[in-house]
Structures are given as C-alpha cells and as structure tokens.
Amino acid sequence: MSEQTDTELADHRYAGKVAAVTGVASGMGRCIALRLAAEGATVFGMDVDADGLDEVAAEVADTAAAGGSMRTRAIDISDPAECHAAIAQCVAQCGRLDVLGNIAAVSWMKHAVDVTTEDWRKMFAVNVDGTFFMCQAALPHIIAGEGSIINIASNAAFMGSAYLVPYCATKGAVVQMTRALATEFVKEPIRINAIAPGGTDTPMNRDYQLAENTDYNLLKRSMAFRPLDKPEHVAALFAFLASAEAANIHGAIINADSGMTAT
C-alpha cells in the first residue's frame, strides 16, 4: 500500500457534508470557508457584509476542485431570531448540517472608562449572543448528523489585555460557553470545541485603531515574540478539528497563539 500525504488524506474529508460558518466575508471565516469547500463541503456562509459574501462565494466557485460549493445569507448574528432563521434556511436548502463554525466577532480598543453602554452591549451581542444562539439553533441538526461545533475564542480569554476589557470578557464567555455545552451534551454523538488564536493577520487586526494616549509598556505584555499568524493556519486547524480525524476531541480549547499563553 502506497503512502498518502496529509493533503491526499484530507482531500475528501467533507464530501457530502454541510458546514454553516459565520464571519465568512473576510479573515479567518473566509479562509475556513475556502478550506472546507476545497475538501468537498457545501458551505452555508454568513456575514453582515453581503458584498464580501458574494466575493467569497465566487472564490469558492473558482477553487472548490473537490466538489465543494457555497450558499450565502447576509445576517446580523446579534439578532437571535436571525440566527435561528439562518440555520433553518441552511437545513432547508442543503438538507442537513454537519459542522457549525462560529467565527464572526467584533473588537476595538478603548480605555475602560471610555467604554459606553452601547459599546459593551454591541460586543456581547455579536461575540457572545451570536455564538450562543447559532449553537442553540444548530444543536438538534448537529446531533442528528453526529457532527461538530467549533467556536473561535482568543488567547485574550486567558490573559488580561489593556484597552480590551470588553473583548477579553466576551472571549472568556465563549470559552466557558464551549466547555458548558460540551459537558451538557457529552452523552450525545456530537463534538463541541473552540480554537483560541493569538494575533492573526486579518482585516480586523490590520485596521485596528489604538486607544488614545496608549501606554505602549502595557501593550507589550500582550505582544507575541513571533510574527502575526496566518488565517490559513487557523483554517487548517479548524478543518482537522471538525473532521472525523479528531473524533476523541470534545470540550477542548485549542490554543493556537504562537506560545503567548505558554510564557
């Protein structure tokens, strides 16, 4: 029997599978959608950016050599009703749901004393509410298909970062939400995990605006010794973690932060 490369083994991991992914218009979400489609998945891509969704759908059509495809829905995941409607549309159009990827998030830097009530609630509505209500809507279908849920957390969930108090709080909530869901559904044929990246070269990070009068000595505590990661690396980890090759991984938070939380 000839040896097979990792790429060859992975080529058809998602043939016949359906993956609903949020935040697909750019960054990690875009790379995850492209990776899953390249491995044969039908991707139901969601984002608030309708034009960005169309662009990624065109990329999928051009590159999904393994037979993958993409359907889209423009959605504001801070609205619970929209989350449920989107999952219902995914199942109605695609016939099943095997993977849910909660990638969409917002972030910005502000001094804690300058954070408004609107700032706080907006970040929790997208990063926490959106993740939970997507999970709630998808769970019956994921269980039926013996599938997988992967939430994107952050190393900010494990280390205090100046000027990022709301963001750290939301990603800490995503970590605990993931663990609690994994515990509640540990007897079901389903896997629920999270990936906690560090700094990643995405549009959101490239466009980051520093807080006024930033103290750079405080920021240094949150800076990695290695360059920003590539979103393609997160996509590769996601594709493994959601696949049958990771069958014994449930309730895990996988740190992918170039050693930030190890030092």
SS3 229: strand
The β-bridge partners of 18 are 42
Query: From CA 50, how far away is CA 263, in angstroms rounded?
Result: 40
Query: Distance from CA of residue 85 to its chain's centroid?
Result: 19
Query: Distance from CA of residue 65 to its chain's centroid?
Result: 23
SS3 22: strand
Active site residues: 167
Q: How far is CA 171 from CA 14, 19, 48, 96, 149, in A?
A: 28, 22, 20, 29, 16
Q: What region does 27 belong to: left with phi over 0, alpha with psi -120 to 50, or beta?
A: left
- Of the candidates 102, 97, 150, the one whose C-alpha atom is nearest the C-alpha of residue 126 is 102
Query: From CA 259, how far away is CA 132, in angstroms rounded?
Result: 28
Burial class for 102, CB neighbours closer than 10 Å (0-12, 13-18, 19+): buried
Query: From CA 86, how far away is CA 81, in angstroms rounded?
Result: 9
